[in-house]
Amino acid sequence: MLDVHAPHDAVRTWKDFFIHIAAIAVGLLIAIGLEQTVEYFHHRQQVEEIRRSLAEERRINGVIFTSACNEFRRYAPILLGSLQTLSYLRTHPGAPPSQWPGRFSFYMLITRFQDSAWKTALQSAALGYMPRAEVRTYSDLYAALQEVSDESLAEFHAVIRAKSFMLQITDPSTFNSEQSVQAYARVSDAVTSLYLMGVGERNVARRYSDFHSPPTDMEIYALIPPAPAKQDVDAVREIAAPMNREK
């Protein structure tokens, strides 16, 4: 803080009094102006530091995103193969693994995006000095990435439940009708979460050009057939277009 001192000469006339008051007012204005200038440049520097941190975190999340999309492509055929195998064993009980159309695997990669820089930014007063549109862009991106992470975690829990059930019986070919239905339902839960995760990845890549290699519509809809009719997809996109432009 800057101190403002009045003149030390004695005040003898009204003119001296008003000069005295004016000196104090000008001094206060100068002090306030200097303080606000220093504060402005301080927050401006903080904003630049926040931008650099967010840019680095975004680059890292881009790498994580590409890995997550690759994991989608790796694991989707395995889960589909598991469902096909369970369906096959219903009509071919006791069939050896060599005849199964797919295989069972409960090993998967959990996707977790980094958000420490964003959480730090939210706690900083300097965020108020950033343009609102820029803050909203960051907020929307982290919300979209969180949705993908949430579905990845939901998929992990579904896979664990399926694995726990399958471990109760060492040979899936010996499933009775009820066990087969239960196993199919548990694997289907994992497929649903992976499907929603793929949709989230696709939506992120459509909105942010630096997030690459999302699952295609064909890859996503292969998980939950039948695929929607093309006219339905086009209609939904047409309805959503104004909302996307508004964002």
> For residue 9, is it within any domain?
no
Residue range 84-93: mean pLDDT, rounded: 92
When pLDDT is cut at 50, 70 and 90, the band that residue 48 belongs to is confident
Residue 204 to residue 152: CA distance in whole angstroms: 15
**Got the DSSP string for the chain?**
--------S---SHHHHHHHHHHHHHHHHHHHHHHHHHHHHHHHHHHHHHHHHHHHHHHHHHHHHHHHHHHHHHHHHHHHHHHHHHHHHHHSTT--GGG-SS------PPP----HHHHHHHT-GGGGGS-HHHHHHHHHHHHHHHHHHHHHHHHHHHHHHHHHHHHTSS-GGG--HHHHHHHHHHHHHHHHHHHHHHHHHHHHHHH-TTS--PPPHHHHHTTSSSPPPHHHHHHHHHHHHHHHHH-
> For residue 139, is it within any domain?
yes
> For residue 10, is it within any domain?
no
Model confidence at 27: pLDDT above 80: no
> For residue 236, is it within any domain?
yes
pLDDT at residue 23, as a whole number? 64
Model confidence at 17: pLDDT above 90: no
Does this model's pTM top 0.85? My answer is no
> For residue 3, is it within any domain?
no
> For residue 212, is it within any domain?
yes
Model confidence at 5: pLDDT above 70: no
Overall domain count for the chain: 1
> For residue 177, is it within any domain?
yes
pLDDT at residue 2, as a whole number? 47
Model confidence at 159: pLDDT above 80: yes
Q: Give the domain range for residue 227.
A: 61-246
> For residue 1, is it within any domain?
no
- Write the pLDDT tens digit of every residue in 89-122: 999 999 999 999 999 999 999 999 999 999 998 8
